[in-house]
Amino acid sequence: MTPTRKGSFVRKTKDITIGSTIALALLTGSVALQGCGGSNEQQYEEKRETTFSKGVRTYITETSPGEFKITDEVSVAADSSQAIVRYYDGHRDTLNAQSAKALIDREVVDNPQYHAGHSGLGSALLWGGMGYFLANSLNNRRYQQYYGRPDEEQQRSRFYSNSSAFRRSNDVRQEVQSSRSTRIVKTSRPSSGRSGFFGGSRSRSYGG
């Protein structure tokens, strides 16, 4: 049995980043921070919440079968983020943030070999404003790994229909980033006499 100093405690903090009510539907969980020791100690629950008031509406056109280009992007309220896709055969579809994320995961993130050199819809979503919004509002490291690379600008630009659309996308990104706000929410409550890690085991103090 490992001795535990009386009154010592362990704290864990997890960043939870949310962009909108849509993003909230994709996230669950919180972090409980509990004390180890006697019944007079407190349990702590602490969350760092980052919200974005701005999101992205992306317009995408299938220019030839299987090839997609972003024609325009505008900033919108975070919970109005969506991608409007016009396909080669003329029909149109609207993807909300959840649907866009599912498509990005299926076509790109979970299939890196398929993604290489591919200009499909999932790739256009990832490298466009929608991917940027999801990466930040969900604190999604699987998406964030694509950004900040030496070839990022070159990779991004090939998914835009022209240089004007690409320049506008940079302005939209800046608006999204500028709308970010963070707060720490912390609550405490009595441990109800339970001791030990997670309240499930007992700890003892030993004299030296």
The answer to whether residue 100 sits within a structural domain is yes
Let me know: does 103 contact 88? Beta carbons within 8 Å. Answer: no
With left for phi above 0 and alpha for psi between -120 and 50, is residue 196 left, alpha or beta? left
**Tokens of residue 87, six digits:** 């396909």
Flag whether pLDDT at 20 surpasses 60.
no
Let me know: does 173 contact 74? Beta carbons within 8 Å. Answer: no
What stretch of H or E contains 174? helix 163-178
Same domain, 98 and 152: yes
The per-residue pLDDT for 206 is 40
Range(s) of the domain holding residue 25: 14-51+181-199
The answer to whether residue 7 sits within a structural domain is no
The answer to whether residue 9 sits within a structural domain is no
DSSP 1: -
Same domain, 138 and 114: yes
With left for phi above 0 and alpha for psi between -120 and 50, is residue 85 left, alpha or beta? beta
The answer to whether residue 109 sits within a structural domain is yes
Same domain, 29 and 96: no
Give the span between the Cα atoms of 50 and 15, in whole angstroms.
8
Q: Could you read off the pLDDT of 122-160 as tens digits, one per residue? A: 999 999 999 999 999 988 888 888 888 888 888 899 999
The domain total for the chain is: 2
Same domain, 191 and 160: no
Confidence of residue 198 (pLDDT cuts 50, 70, 90): very low
Flag whether pLDDT at 12 surpasses 70.
no
Answering whether pTM is above 0.85, one says no
